[in-house]
């Protein structure tokens, strides 16, 4: 991964919560080239597939997770002209309303950062080795992957990568 | 010579095993490694032959015919559900 990982990529897999303000500071600090900062934050919903969700446990494959995210970011860098990238994913036990995942991307103009952010999130959903176990009123259950997530990620192969070129 | 084999998430719970060492005499395919594991743990057969499982070698997703060598790290797991 030596030649594809940009020095401005920050990847963190962590149990503790993160601060949106701190992550935006990281993306913007000493960065006057980029006029666009696009951030996405995913949180634990209270309902899923008709069940009341009390919380989640997130498991991951240490080492492979980081490598997978580096690969996804490297691919995004081949498609768009982007500056800094930050991906944070939490693991362990989470309760409803808690933050799970953060993706932040900067670019000179907004189009590249919007597209790259969505691309990174779409491929994180289908490639990065994380697994959610949901605690509901009916007990604990590992979530099944969704075909719609695969379809969404694959749609990038067919689309124009540079909408604001 | 051995390879390390990891199992994750629902698969880990079904097998009640998170990792094992597999002794091999020569490089072999992921599918052959799986059959070798099943020959040692026949009760795992139905679970490990579930076609939706993914394979990784040294932290990259690979196909069933990918060749695993001694000291490689092999992993089996269900489709991912993060984000």
Cα distances (Å, whole numbers) of residue B18 to A28, A32, A91: 41, 47, 17
- Is the model's pLDDT at A4 over the cut of 50? no
Q: Which DSSP string corresponds to A105-159?
A: EEESSHHHHHHHHHHHHHHHHHHS-EEEEEEETTEEEEPPP-HHHHHHHHHHHHS
When the candidates are 3.10.20.30, 3.30.70.20, 3.20.20.80, 3.40.50.720, the CATH number that belongs to B2-77 is 3.10.20.30
Q: Per residue, what are the HEC states of B23-75? A: ECCCCEEHHHHHHHHHHHCHHHHHHHCCCCCEEEECCEEECCCCEECCCCEEE
Closest residue of chain B to A87, computed from CA coordinates: B83
Residue % of chain A over a pLDDT of 70: 92
Q: How many CB atoms lie within 10 A of CB B54?
A: 17
Label residue A49 by pLDDT band (50, 70, 90).
Answer: confident
- Is the model's pLDDT at A2 over the cut of 90? no
Query: What is the token pair recorded at B54?
Result: 């993914």
Distance CA A103, CA A92 (A): 19
Q: Which DSSP string corresponds to A57-90?
A: EEEE-TTHHHHHHHHHHHHHHHHS----EEEEEE
CA dihedral defined by B34, B11, A130, A132, rounded to 10 degrees?
160
Query: Which of A131, A139, A142 should we substitute to test contact with B (largest number of B Cβ atoms within 10 Å)?
Result: A131
Q: Is A147 on the interface with B (CB under 8 A)?
A: no
On chain A, the residues whose CB falls within 8 A of the CB of B78 are: 131, 142, 145
- A145–B81 C-beta distance less than 8 A: yes
Query: What is the token pair recorded at A56?
Result: 């989640």
Residue A95, H or E segment = strand A92-95
Closest residue of chain B to A141, computed from CA coordinates: B10
Reported ipTM: the value is 0.95
Contact A95, A71 (CB under 8 A): no
Shortest CA gap B32–chain A (Å): 23
> What pLDDT score was predicted for residue A162?
53
On chain A, the residues whose CB falls within 8 A of the CB of B77 are: 61, 129, 131
Q: Is A127 on the interface with B (CB under 8 A)?
A: yes
Distance of CA A57 to the CA centre of its chain: 17
Contact B14, B47 (CB under 8 A): yes
- Region A9-32: what's the mean pLDDT? 97
- Is the model's pLDDT at A5 over the cut of 60? no
Contact A161, A79 (CB under 8 A): yes
> What pLDDT score was predicted for residue A48?
85
Contact A132, A142 (CB under 8 A): yes
- A99 versus B1: the higher-pLDDT residue is A99
Residue-wise pLDDT for A149-165, tens only, equals 999 999 998 775 654 43
Closest residue of chain A to B8, computed from CA coordinates: A61
Label residue A137 by pLDDT band (50, 70, 90).
Answer: confident
Sequence spans of domains, chain B:
2-77
Label residue A106 by pLDDT band (50, 70, 90).
Answer: very high
Q: Is A121 on the interface with B (CB under 8 A)?
A: yes
Contact A115, A161 (CB under 8 A): yes
Tell me the pLDDT of chain B (83 aa) as tens digits.
899 999 999 999 999 999 999 999 999 999 999 999 999 999 999 999 999 999 999 999 999 999 999 999 999 999 999 99
What does R_g of chain B's alpha carbons equal in angstroms?
A: 12
- B82–A130 C-beta distance less than 8 A: yes
On chain A, the residues whose CB falls within 8 A of the CB of B82 are: 58, 60, 89, 101, 124-125, 128-132
Distance CA A143, CA A137 (A): 15
């Amino acid at each position: 991964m030596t030649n594809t990982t940009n020095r401005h990529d920050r990847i963190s897999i962590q149990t503790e919560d993160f601060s949106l303000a701190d992550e935006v500071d990281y993306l913007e600090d000493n960065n006057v080239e980029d006029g666009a900062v696009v951030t996405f934050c995913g949180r634990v919903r209270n309902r899923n597939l008709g069940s009341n969700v009390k919380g989640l446990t997130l498991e991951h494959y240490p080492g492979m997770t980081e490598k997978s995210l580096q690969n996804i970011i490297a691919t995004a860098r081949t498609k768009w002209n982007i500056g800094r990238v930050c991906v944070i994913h939490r693991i362990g036990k989470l309760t409803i309303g808690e933050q799970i995942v953060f993706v932040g991307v900067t670019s000179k103009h907004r189009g590249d950062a919007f597209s790259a952010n969505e691309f990174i999130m779409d491929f994180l959903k289908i490639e990065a080795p994380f697994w959610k176990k949901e605690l509901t009123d009916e007990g604990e259950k590992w979530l099944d992957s969704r075909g719609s997530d695969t379809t969404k990620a694959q749609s990038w192969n067919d689309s124009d990568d540079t909408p604001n070129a | 010579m051995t390879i390390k084999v990891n199992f994750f998430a629902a698969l880990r719970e079904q097998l009640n095993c998170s990792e094992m060492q597999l002794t091999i005499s020569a490089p072999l395919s992921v599918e052959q490694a799986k059959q070798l594991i099943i020959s040692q743990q026949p009760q795992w057969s139905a679970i490990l032959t579930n076609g939706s499982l993914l394979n990784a070698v040294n932290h990259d997703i690979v196909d069933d015919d990918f060749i695993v060598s001694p000291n490689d790290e092999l992993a089996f797991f269900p489709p991912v559900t993060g984000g």
